[in-house]
Structure 1
Amino acid sequence: MASPSINSSEEINWDEIGFGIIPTDTMCLMKCSTEEADTFSEATLVPYGNLHLLPSAGILNHGQGVIEGLKAYRTKDGHILLFRPEENGTRLKIGAERMCMPSPSVEQFVDAVKQTVLANKRWVPPVGKGSLYIRPLLMGTGSVLGIAPAPECTLLIYVTPVKTYHTGPLNLVIKDKLYRAICGSGGTGGVKSVVNYSPAYKALKEARAEGFSDILYLDAATGKFIEELSSCNIFLVKGKAISTPTAGGNILPGITRKSIIEIAIDLGYKVTERAVAVDELMEADEVFCTGTAVGVNPVASITHNNIRAEYKTGAEAVSQKLLQTLVGIQTGHIQDTRGWTLQIE
């Protein structure tokens, strides 16, 4: 969703922001030369703007990069909270290892995120008006021509104020010709590699042209089991039982996903992580998606082989109860008993 060009946070009509780029004040850079030592430099804050990259940079030629996504939230008394940033730092390290890159320590990562948010704190929306989306990007910036890791890597962190990625319940479609990740556990489906996302453009473009919100992908090995959407995890509800495909290998272990599982268990639901057949999905009472960008988003319908299944949505839906609890913790309205939030002022 496109956002207007805004030069100052004072100009923002917070009710009109969407999910897009609004240039903010500052971004953060950290570098590491793999030829000298796998140790990242101290975080450097610079004005938000263009990057200088060699044409032969690893990220440009071979897609050597991993991304993260997390948010900062404003509380009703004006404080700023991060939600589980150490989980993003840990996941970044796992992705970096898969893509043959060094990564900062979790402590370095969290500190760099804190510095970036504090430098842009005027862009954190008021409570109830959105959040500050934080995008860390770890990339190979050194020069490389052959198929090999870049000799230098850079961690870039930038931010932008956003609302949720989708507005309203989703209408999904399952297609059998395009797959999100290769079968087995040897691919990059289980990490946030930059190469995971552009291959989804074609299927997503076709789905939206047909009036659907997004694609729900099936496993490439059998075409019988659900995996995830273009950028978020999926859950189904049947009575008091909640199921979601097992993460790892093909499926990204989402941090919102992990949090929702714990919240659902606390609310008395039986949660199971397992292989979920598409036939079972079509018989569910309720379906919802989770992710940093989408939050907890209900699904109104799923179409598969020209058969449309419809699901419960609205105020009494399980997804709404889970969303209210999650947002309550993230914004300080509900006491955080798990240590998930980090106040950064």
Structure 2
Amino acid sequence: MTKPAIEIKLSKSKKQKPLAEQLEFGKVFTDHMFLADYLEGEGWSNHRIVPYEPLMLDPAATIFHYGQTVFEGMKAYLDKDGSVRLFRPEENMRRMNQSGERLCMPQFDVENALDALKQLIITDREWIPATEGTSLYIRPFMIATEPYLGVAPSKKYIFVIILSPVGSYYKEGIHPVKILVENEYVRAVAGGTGMAKTAGNYASGLRAQEIADRKGYSQVLWLDGVERKYIEEVGSMNVFFKINGEVITPALNGSILDGITRKSIIQLLNHWNVPVTERKISMEEIRSAQQEGTLEEAFGTGTAAVISPIGEFNWSDEKLVVNSGETGELSKKLYETLTGIQKGDLEDPFGWTFEVPDPAIV
């Protein structure tokens, strides 16, 4: 397949870059973005890197009315030698295609998408923060743009990649968070869109998260939508439990996102010969393990935090403290190993990372 040419139009007025200590998540964006257009019957065209600016959409665009959109999240890092590293971006692009298939959206060529991403990073390379713990957050997304109010898949789409420099998720090292177990609302059910990374999944979780915030909890633990007893995800992360030496994570069931960090954690644990099992696990089992003293650790996994240790669950006003509210040894080791691989500080025995070419030699 011939790679599409990418037209590059550079910004004539560069933005002022924020100080590393002022960086927050997703509030500042780089000078440029990548776009490509899709038309049914013709495919993808007009691949371009242009100055970051608002998108012009018809008020009747399908995205506004029927929610056809998918997205991904990943990061680029500066290593100690100043090289730019990406962590498993091909997995994110493949998953975005899987999400798109669920929402009747067009597939794109993964290699072409990765080429576009690398070219965009090269264009805005100076935006990658160098301070410890910082990175360049990458948000690819696709939206339906056909102006049509009929309930049917759109015939037109736009694929976009934007970049945002972000600070360290943990300002003073990783600390356990408190989690509220949600008994009323559900995030998704098997057969729905829980396995896809689409906006509706996140919108449906906002009410429960508001309640958790008001009660002083960092995140919501989602239970299954049928029996309301089996654990699925925590906030927008996958979740793991270490019980009596064994690590357990909910099995993918059609309503749980197949996380890239989740997949990497499982591979690391297997590499270390730590017992790890993917299966159903209920809150009753977690409570029993906590009462018996065998619930050793719990943690969430995702792109933003990598590892988020859990120090307490509140289930129907019953507080279940994990590991005396302290970060567990395995959680810390996983965090340090994965971030070390991502930044190039540790050996990568899995071939997960690769360098973005230096613009001086591209």
Q: Distance in 1 between matches of 2:227 and 2:86?
A: 39
| Equivalence for 1:293 | 304
2:16 alignment counterpart: 8
1:179 alignment partner, one of 143, 165, 186? 186
Q: In the alignment, what sits opposite 2:4?
A: none
Secondary structure in 2 matching 1:196: helix
Q: Is the 8 A contact 2:311 2:326 kept in 1?
A: no
Offset at residue 338 of structure 1 (A): 1.4
- What is the aligned length? 334
RMSD in angstroms over aligned alpha carbons?
Answer: 1.6
Alignment partner of 1:341 is 2:353: yes
Alpha-carbon distance between aligned partners in 2 of 1:207 and 1:63, rounded to the nearest angstrom: 26
Tell me whether 1:238 sits opposite 2:246 in the alignment.
no
Higher alpha-carbon Rg: 2
Q: What is the TM-score normalised by the length of structure 2?
A: 0.89
Q: CA deviation at 1:194?
A: 1.4
Distance 1:179 1:315 in 2: 28
2:136 paired with 1:115 = no
The alignment status of 1:33 with 2:31, answered yes or no, reads: no
Alignment of 1:101-180 (within 5 A): 101-126=105-130, 128-165=132-169, 168-180=175-187
Compute the displacement of 1:165 (Å): 4.8
Deviation at 1:206?
1.0
Distance 2:322 2:272 in 1: 21
Say if 2:75 and 2:135, in contact at 8 Å, map to a contact too. yes
Equivalents in 2 of 1:146, 1:166: separation in Å? 45
Q: Is the 8 A contact 2:309 2:328 kept in 1?
A: no
Q: 3-state DSSP class of the match of 1:71?
A: strand
- Which residue identity does 1:267 align to in structure 2? W
After superposition, the Cα gap between the structure-2 partners of 1:316 and 1:274, relative to the gap in structure 1 and judged at 3 Å, is closer
Match of 1:70 in 2: 74
| Deviation of 1:143 (Å) | 1.5
Tell me if the contact between 2:133 and 2:168 (Cα under 8 Å) persists in the aligned partners: no
Percent of aligned pairs sharing the same letter: 37
Pairwise CA distance, 1:220: 1.0
Does structure 2 conserve the Cα–Cα contact (< 8 Å) formed by 1:232 and 1:294? no
Counterpart residue type for residue 193 of structure 1: T
Q: TM-score, normalised on structure 1?
A: 0.93
**Conservation of the 8 A alpha-carbon contact between 1:75 and 1:127:** no
Name 1:3's counterpart in structure 2.
none
Q: Distance in 2 between matches of 1:197 and 1:27?
A: 24
Aligned position for 2:230: 225
Give the Å deviation of 1:42.
5.1
Could you say what secondary structure the match of 2:229 adopts?
coil
2:273 to 251, 268, 271: 268
CA distance in structure 2 between the aligned counterparts of 1:319 and 1:42, rounded to whole angstroms: 45
Residues 235-287 of structure 1 show CA distances to partners (whole Å, capped at 9, x for unaligned) of 00123210000124010000000001111222231110000111222322110
CA distance in 1, matches of 2:300, 2:280: 16
Gap regions ≥5 residues in structure 2: 1-13, 358-362
Aligned position for 1:209: 214
1:40–1:103 CA contact under 8 A, matched in 2? no
> 1:280 is matched with which residue: 263, 278, 285?
285
For the 8 Å contact 2:309–2:327, the answer to whether it is kept is no
